[in-house]
Structure 1
Amino acid sequence: MNCRICGAALPDGAMFCGECGSSTSATPESRRPVDPRPGDTYVLHRSESGVISVPLDGVAPVEAAIAEPVAAEPLIAEAPIAEPPAPTAGGAPSGPPHGEDATPRFVLTFTTGEVVTVSGTGLIGRRPMPQPGEAFTHLVQIVDRGLSVSKTHVEFGEHEGALWIADRFSSNGTVLRRPGEDGLRCEPGRRVLAPRGSRVEIGEQAFTVA
């Protein structure tokens, strides 16, 4: 049989998963946390992994402020399809030069030695694996011989020029240390901003955001 949380193969009669520590009776539905702040957040998207994506918690990124969400028009998880650039009088597109990408890029430097430049969305872990129906730009695999980092430990993405992270119900948790602030233990499944200069601790390992 297989663990219904992480998909690892389990021996007959097992009561707990040796990979993620979940009970063999656990399901993604049972692992979904109850939102403790229903008055100021709302669900954007639910995936089969049990991760709940909610609006960011209002912490402004380093270079761009976050607009307050409008209750009548909640944010959506899907990005709108961009219209192709209109041609100029000479027939060439009037958009940015060919090859130029306006998506912000972030450099993640890990204590394990890896340095990765990312943009868009991704997963970080010893062997990150999307759940059925999920798609990510990056799957960042790091070496952690102590196994303190879960196979799929952290999800990340971009919001108005800043990086956000979300713990993916990891075994040892995720701690975010923003510049000049105390550490914040991330609630599994909740997105929090990690501005440039932040340190993200995942198990016994960590990475910085630049």
Structure 2
Amino acid sequence: MNSSLPKTVVLISGSGSNLQAIIDQANTGQIKANIVGVISNRPDAYGLERAKLAGIPACIVDHKAYDTREAFDAALAATIEQYEADILVLAGFMRILTSGFVQTYMGKMLNIHPSLLPKYTGLNTHQRAIDAKDSVHGVSVHFVTEELDGGPVILQAKVPIFPEDTADILAERVHEQEHRVYPLVLEWMSTGRLKMEKGTAWLDGQPLSQHGYANEDEEDIQ
């Protein structure tokens, strides 16, 4: 990983499959990124083991040890500052962050959400898409703002929904796309191509639309 790039800290709560995708692509040179730390709010998160195997410093800030969201977020922020983070990547981080925390890191914090935002904010997105009889589902990478899953979208990837799909089958299809798009967006951020200004995502000096970067041929995304 390139230590001359901005310092990235990844926040996790679970298995860390998106973390692994970022690590793998950074190690092989597919993307440019500098991951300096991994923080989990759950002591049993497997993503901590992924960080250890990759030689990345990792630590736990257990939300259960704090009486309020504000106290937890203050402890989380103090830990992030120890890593001198320039970029925060939420990768399956299952905590709703307080307004004060979000304001502190506004424009520096990325999240990935398993739906084609603004559709289906919150939880159970795969089943909700199936129940709505949608033909297309997907994933969105966006900047984090105070509105839950409401920050400006940077990049989306679509997947088909077939009649026989269950939520678990659809989730696997979406995960494949997550592992493509999240590392790419991190590289855009790390190399200075991506910014958030006045509530809008900008790539290469151009504002992105409500649905983020658009390219009819996703194989050409770079």
- Normalised to the residue count of structure 2, the TM-score between the two structures is 0.23
Give the structure with the larger helix fraction. Answer: 2
